[in-house]
Amino acid sequence: MEYLSSKKSVGVWNSISNTKKSLGNLGIEIHDLFGINIKSGNNALFWYDHWIGDNSLKSKYPNLFELESQKRCRVADRVGSRNHKWKWKVRPATRGLESEVNDLNRDVSNVQLKSGMDQWRCNLSSDGIFSVATVRQLVDKLHTVCSVAPAITWNKFIPIKVICLMWRAAQLRIPTATALERRGIAVSSTLCCSCIGSPECADHVLINCPFAHKIRSYIWSWCGLTNVQDSIKTISDLIQFASNWGENIKKRQRFIVICYGMLCNLWRFRNKRLFQMEGISVHRGLECIKVMTFYWIKHRGDKKICSWEDWAISSFYDL
């Protein structure tokens, strides 16, 4: 199927290939729906098909897949003899790659090939038989509005891409280390790159990490929330808290902008730390949040906002 979708096709194959793309747009990988019972190993693709474990070996070992010289080889081309028949473009010589080869060898070491055709089974049904109805049920299940998702505020001062990011974050759908690992993607560490003390999930990075906690307490005091008991544990908690905060609607709207600005910046800082090796101090982090939220309010509608100097002292200086 993966091979088909990369080729130009017509007629029924074109429809099948388009179905894969349409399901992909809904977050459903068609390969994830099927498993294979291996017999001769002559029908299943070693790297692409889900014939061992929960994912394809291509996703589990992306580095080794890059080194494979025949990417569409069959299972029988690679396993079934005492020494697995690897055909690398370049020998995996580094220590990391050698250990991946060892893991891969261990994964396939117990595979016994026998006569007969490999058999596909649908993972959605107990009898393994595919039906359109089971796929439809899956689509409905995944795309019914999540009952635990908080009431996201559509505020004109907040860019839509930030609102979308927060909507996904509240449902733990942003690509943190633990989320990637859950999807079978190899990550070097699942620990938070800031505190190195807890698994990195969305709620940890944006709410519970000591760095996020410190930033939040400074933001609270900048907003004048001095006597607030901070019992916020999840992104949903914070979004709910902001959308119900205070009596003054104008102030509440501004507080929501600040909370979204804080969360999206915490995600930005995490990405800078992880991908650009750039550490951000709490002081610098606060400055970034103040600048970004001032810019949003001033340039996305409220021209009468106070001066930057006054804003830096109090977020409600002019209200």
Residues forming the site for Zn ion (CB under 5 A): 192, 194-195, 209
Minimal distance in Å, beta carbon 275 to Zn ion? 16
Half-sphere exposure of 218 (CA within 13 A, CB side): 18
Residue 190 CB, nearest approach to Zn ion (Å): 12
Least distance in Å: CB of 222 to Zn ion? 22
Closest distance to Zn ion from the beta carbon of 232 (Å): 16
Q: 3-state SS of 112-155? A: CCCCCCCEEEECCCCCCCCCHHHHHHHHHHHHCCCCCCCCCCCC
Nearest to 78 by CA among 103, 53, 49, 42: 42
Asked if 58 and 186 touch (Cβ cutoff 8 Å), the reply is no
In the complex, least distance from residue 192 CB atom to Zn ion, rounded to whole angstroms: 3
Instruction: Please identify, using beta-carbon distances, which residue of 154 and 275 lies nearer to Zn ion.
Output: 275
CB of 205 to Zn ion, least distance (A): 7
- 158 versus 192: smaller Cβ distance to Zn ion: 192
Residues in Cβ contact with 47 at an 8 Å cutoff, skipping those fewer than 6 apart: 56, 57, 58, 65, 68, 71, 72, 73
Please report how close the Cβ of residue 209 comes to Zn ion at its closest, in angstroms. Answer: 3
Sign of torsion over alpha carbons 303, 304, 308, 313? negative
| Closest to Zn ion by CB, 215 or 306 | 215
Closest to 177 in 3D by CA, of 191, 165, 164: 191
3-state secondary structure 186-207: CCCCCECCCCCCCECCHHHHHH
- Closest distance of CB 15 from Zn ion, Å: 47
Residue 170 vs 192, nearer CB to Zn ion: 192
AA letter at 76: A
User: Which residues touch 93 (CB under 8 Å, ≥6 apart)?
Assistant: none
Burial of 26: CB neighbours in 10 Å, binned 0-12, 13-18, 19+ = exposed
Q: Which is nearer to Zn ion, 209 or 235 (CB)?
A: 209
Length of the chain: 319
| Distance between CA atoms of residues 263 and 265, nearest Å | 5
Token reading at 33: 């729906």
For Zn ion, the closer of residues 40 and 198 by Cβ is 198
| Terminal C-alpha separation, the chain | 59
Nearer to Zn ion, 284 or 300 (CB): 284
Q: Which is nearer to Zn ion, 176 or 194 (CB)?
A: 194
